[in-house]
A and B are shown apart, each in its own frame.
Chain A
Amino acid sequence: MSCWETFQAYALRSLGYGERLLPREGYDLCQQFTLIGSGLIWNVYFGVLALFTGFFLANALALAKAGRNPWLRKPAEWFIFLFRGSPLFIQFFLAYEALVLLPKAGIEVFGLTVETAWTTRAWAGALFVLVLNTAAYSAEIFHGALKSIPKGDLEAADAYGISGWQKFRRIEWPTMLRLGWPAYTNEAIFLFHATTLVFFSGFPAFQQRGDALYYANYFADKTFNPFIPYPIVGFYFVLITLALIWLFGRINRRLNRHLPSNLKSRIRLRPQLIR
């Protein structure tokens, strides 16, 4: 099989298109790059959607944690502690086991039957866990940033007569984002790295449609040679990391555009390894 044919057969394998069986011979570089790259679609899917949804949830949680109302603050604190204090690995297992327990036939709500089977599938269940997890980590970052807004900025807002929602939207929120952004960039990078855990924890890969690490593991098992597939995964993730740094750097520049250059916060890569 030429490399182009391999590409056609396996480029979308992780989504269920193309060749039905995984490669059983050869295991050349082209095959490994194509199939592992195909799995990467899932990592990007989980990463992008979880980051996007988690961002809004994180803002709400950070505000709740910084607020005075204990009915909002306590649940937010507990939520953040729960998801930051336990391993993501265990969270995946737990979520899967809990979702499996939902009645198979669906739940009756006001005469309508709500299907539940789809929640045990990785695309929904694992995404749900990732959203909650990244929301907790990001909320802690944003909460810290909210606490370190310069006093002078708030006093200036008061002096101009800006208050309430206006003050939040025009002063507090942009400053919070600006201060928290370097740390949030790291969070984004390690969320993408954490997506590799999905198919290694509770969630099974349906019809061998897995992520990059799933296929890398397949190749390592078949060839007994870890020195090719795992560095390929590493290579792909370095690319993702660079893309993220570029994108978040652009946003960071925009958030800091009103400041003199010596005050701008720079993004530094501070890896967190595993969550």
Chain B
Amino acid sequence: MFEFCTDPASLTGLRWFGCYLTTATHFSFYWSFGTVILLLLVTAPCALAFGFLGASAARSHVAPVSLLGRGYIAAVRGVPDIVFFLFFIIALDQGIEWFKHLMVCEDLSQPVWNNGEFRVCAAAKVPAGDAAPWVVKAYAFGLAVFTFAIVFGAFAANVLYGAMQAVPRAQLETAESYGMSHRQVFRRILVPQMWIYALPGLSNLWLILIKATPLLFLLGIKDAVYWARELGSAKTSGNNPFPHGDWRLFYFLALLVFYLLATRISEIGLTRLTRRLSRGQATRAGEEMRKGAAA
């Protein structure tokens, strides 16, 4: 990074740290925080979409659709945390390969699961054996996002379902008396009003989502936890220009600070959002704001 870094052995004090903290591997570490934030930003809308679909399905008047929605919510909520992550990542991976196996492979005589092995033909490998490294990375990341979205979607569905029930019945009846159809009531009355009821639950979920991101490590992605372990472990002078003892403690302290900051900033942001969404609502907070503006 800096020109005086060419001979690390001669450095001391601040200069040593300046060079140490700007090595290529350290930049991978800093980028991995970006990965975490990217995951959050991609997963949150996906989970919300899953949740919206789930809640709408659970509210449906068609029995099988309603059953599907309720089943989805209940199944994911009933089973403990990381079991789902560990299960889904393998199940999805194998499911996709198995499906592709059925589509593209010529020889289907061999069973896919056999003697403790999972084997598909070479053409059915996902990602393909000769794929570029970034494709492999993107695929792993996509699987992780999908897993997070499914799990958190069920929780969001539960919150949104409750919020839809919480919109005052009179509002919907008024809309119906104006001659709106079911779909119109849903789109113009129910959905715009439900967010304020959903917000406490959703903000809780967002905070939980932030705290769930270290599980990326379990899904085999080189995230901040991976790099913290990698960089922090003791380095000898033989293979490393910057030898040091076991510093994992400090790396994990940095991670801890990152998560505490993320939590704190989100809390502040969510408080603002609550105020913004309360405007013009038929709730106590909305009423107080209306009176405050009039006074």
Contact = CB atoms under 8 A, between A and B. Distances in A.
Q: Do A and B interact with each other, yes or no?
A: yes
Interface of A: 27, 81-82, 85-91, 93-94, 97-98, 100-101, 190, 192-194, 196-197, 200, 213, 216-217, 220, 222-227, 230-231, 233-234, 237-238, 241, 269, 271-275
A147 B276 CA distance: 26
Contact of B90 (A27, A226, A273): A226
Contacts, number: 123
Contact of A237 (B77, B79, B246): B79
Query: What's the dominant secondary structure at chain B's contact region?
Result: helix
B214 A224 contact: no
Contacts of A94: 249, 252-253, 255-256
Nearest to B89: A226
Contacts of B80: 192-193, 196, 233-234, 237
A93 B225 contact: yes
Contacts of B204: 272
B91 interface: yes
Interface in B214-265: 214-215, 217-218, 225, 228-229, 232, 246, 248-249, 252-253, 255-256, 259-260, 263-264
Most buried by A among B90, B152, B217, B246: B90
Most buried by B among A82, A87, A222: A87
B118 interface: yes
A201 to B, nearest CB: 9
B263 A85 contact: yes
B82 A27 contact: no
A51 to B, nearest CB: 16
Given A225-B113, A234-B80, A238-B79, A86 B256 contact: yes
B81 A196 contact: yes
Interface stretch (B25-33, B48-56, B60-68, B205-213): B205-213
A101 B246 contact: yes
A168 to B, nearest CB: 30
A115 to B, nearest CB: 21
A181 B294 CA distance: 41
A11 to B, nearest CB: 22
A124 to B, nearest CB: 18
A226 B91 contact: yes
B179 interface: no
B292 interface: no
B86 A220 contact: yes
A105 to B, nearest CB: 17
B83 A230 contact: yes
Q: Which 8 A-B pairs have the closest CB atoms?
A: A193-B80, A85-B263, A230-B87, A87-B211, A224-B118, A234-B79, A89-B214, A226-B90
A90 B252 contact: yes
A90 B87 contact: no
A86 B260 contact: yes
A197 B77 contact: no
B252 A273 contact: no
Interface string B137-165: 00000000000000110010000000000
